[in-house]
Structures are given as C-alpha cells and as structure tokens.
A = this chain, B = another copy of it.
Amino acid sequence: MRREVTLRDVAELAGVSSRTVSNVVNGYANVTERTRERVQRAVDELGYRPNVLARNLAQGRSGQIAVVIPYLDTPYFSELLQSVIRAARVSGYNVLIDQTDGDPEHERAFIAHGSRRLLFDGVIFSPLGLDQQALTDRDPSLPLVILGERSSDGSFDHVGIDDVAASRLATEHLIDLGRRRIAAIGDQPYATGEAAQRRTQGFREAHAARGLTPREELIISTPRFNRPDGAQAMNHLLDLAEPPDAVFCYSDLVALGAIRTIVSRGLRVPEDIAVIGYDDIEDGRFSNPTITTISPDKEMIATTAVDRLLLRISSESPPPGLELRAPFKLVERESTTGRVSPR
C-alpha cells in the first residue's frame, strides 16, 4: 500500500506552509482567496484526504460517540438508534455501537473509569442492570446521557418519557373499556428494575384513580421485555383459575408474545382479552391484531439525547444534569378496540 498524501505534500506543491494547507482544508478564516485557490488546486491534484487518526490525536478528540444498548435486535432500540445515528451524522459525529446483552458487569465496565476512553467523546447509554453505585463510580470526565431507565443525579442528562403517567394512561384505557381483571406483564421488583417499577406504579395509580384495586396475582414479572417472556407470562396467566380480561404489557414485544399465546390457545384479542403494549414499534402496526400502544416520540428522544451530549462534549464546565421529558401518546389499535370491518 503506497504512502498516503499528506498535508506536507500538498504544501510543497502549492508552495505554502503545511499550516496554511491545514487552514484551507478546515475552512478557517483569514486565508486570502488567492492562496485558498492555489491550495485547493494542489489538494485536488494530489487527491489529498485528511488523516482522521492524526487529527484526532492532535485535537485530543475522536469525533465519535458511543451508544450503549442492551440488545441491538430489539426493534425499539434499533429504531431509536437509527434516529441517533442520523442526528449524530448531522453534527459530523460517527456512532460506535456497543451491545451489553444486558450484562450488568459489561455495563459497569463501560462507564467505569477509562474503558476504551478516547475512542469516543461521549456516551449515550440505555442501561438495563445498572445500579446507582456504578453511576457514582463512573469516570466523571466522560460526557454521559442516559436513556429510559434511571433518573439523573445531576451529573448527567436523562432523556425519557414519563413512565408513570404513560402507564397510567395505558391502564386507564383498559379500565375505561370496561375491563376489570387487568394483568400487567413486565414488572421487575428488584434494584435494577426501576423503569419496570415505574410502569407498575402507573398501573396501580390508574386503578386507584378509578376506585379499583389491582389483583396482585395478575402482576407478572419477567426477566426481559421480549416475545418469549410475553408468551410465557401469558401462558401462566391463562392457567389461572380466573384469567384476566385485559393485559398491560411493558413492551410491544411482550404484547406480541402474549397475543401469540392467547390466539394459539384459541381465544380472541380483544374480545376475550384486550392487550395494550408500550413503545410503538413497527411490528405492532402490522401484526394481527394491530397493537394498541404507548407511543413515545422516539425522534425527539434521539435528537434531544444527541444534542445534549454534544453540548456536554463541547462545554468547558459541565452543564447541570437535566431531566428531559419527551412527549408520548396513546395509539389505539385493534388489540383493545377491536377490528374495523374488513374493507
């Protein structure tokens, strides 16, 4: 592989200093039109391309941000990631993906002191099993924005929707349809399950607001929020003496799994059991039945996260950690309100 063209080569050809070439290439001010043209010609002639590695080293920054998510093949994350990548690209940043597979150790290692620091200028993190300790121990110089899970302690930003309010809205929707034995699938009653617990809280609040009491045996916890978990939990619910007549699922995937179970056991959605999901992934818009769901504004979450992170990266003194709320709405589809007559 032949040597690459360097700044110096261009400088020589153009008869200026390499520093001037650098100025031209980076579009800095205070370069006369004459020089700029001459340099540009030399650049074109030699086919010069800046060496990103060298620039990174000299500037002490990498122009990359890392996005850490549990599972890449979870539609919610891949949809979100897609928007993050677009938003980052607009500002000239590349995105490095890291999958943790939900492994708390891996998550901890990532934000702990150092890690592969310098490979990225900041991190957007969607943790699953991260406890408060890990956040406290983290490298404080690493700009950080957290998605979804935990609330901010002031040293980083947190972007998400109001899980309690959203869950309450979802549950109220089921209640208002006349359902009274409402199950919830996805609780995680342990330290790392904060997000799940907030949804359970909303579930309870909705009951309280309507003067009802949730049945504890209908609140099912699951290790993850995926299809198999939903399917399994639903099987359990259907085996109860008194099965539910509605289910609030903590993700659309869980809802898809649950619906699969319901249908395969010969029952109908929503006639026998109404199902509501969470996330509004594309799957739910084309499934049979389509899924009523809580739809967070993903585009907004992504761009907000990227904007805040880039702000953090470029700030001298770290800005205060904000708690940022993205809007959400309830989207009614067939899994609760029934099928519209075939056209």
Contacts and interface: CB of A to CB of B under 8 A. Distances in A.
Question: Which bucket holds chain A's interface residue count?
Answer: 35 or more
Contact of A82 (B71, B119, B141, B257): B71
Given A73-B79, A97-B95, A265 B53 contact: no
B57 A53 contact: yes
A233 interface: no
A154 interface: no
A282 interface: yes
Contacts of A11: none
A282 B47 contact: no
B286 A257 contact: yes
Contacts of A119: 52-53, 94
- By DSSP majority rule, is chain A's interface helix, strand, loop, or mixed? mixed
Given A53-B60, A94-B116, 18 more contacts: A47-B113, A49-B117, A52-B117, A53-B57, A53-B118, A56-B56, A72-B78, A73-B79, A75-B75, A86-B99, A94-B119, A227-B282, A231-B286, A260-B287, A260-B288, A263-B288, A264-B342, A283-B283
Contacts of A182: none
A67 to B, nearest CB: 9
Q: Give 9 closest A-B pairs by Cβ, nearest first.
A: A266-B342, A49-B114, A78-B78, A227-B286, A72-B82, A260-B286, A53-B57, A288-B288, A73-B79
A54 interface: yes
Which one of A72, A75, A94, A339 has the greatest number of beta carbons of chain B within 10 Å?
A72
A148 B277 CA distance: 34
Interface string A92-105: 00111111000000
Contact of A256 (B49, B64, B260, B286): B286
A139 to B, nearest CB: 10
Contacts of A81: 72-73, 97
Interface string A52-86: 11101100101010000001110100110110011
A64 B62 CA distance: 13
Given A73-B79, A96-B95, A99-B86, A342 B288 contact: no
8 contacts: A47-B113, A53-B57, A57-B57, A72-B78, A72-B82, A73-B82, A81-B97, A257-B286
A51 interface: yes
A128 to B, nearest CB: 15
A144 interface: no
A29 interface: no
B53 A62 contact: yes
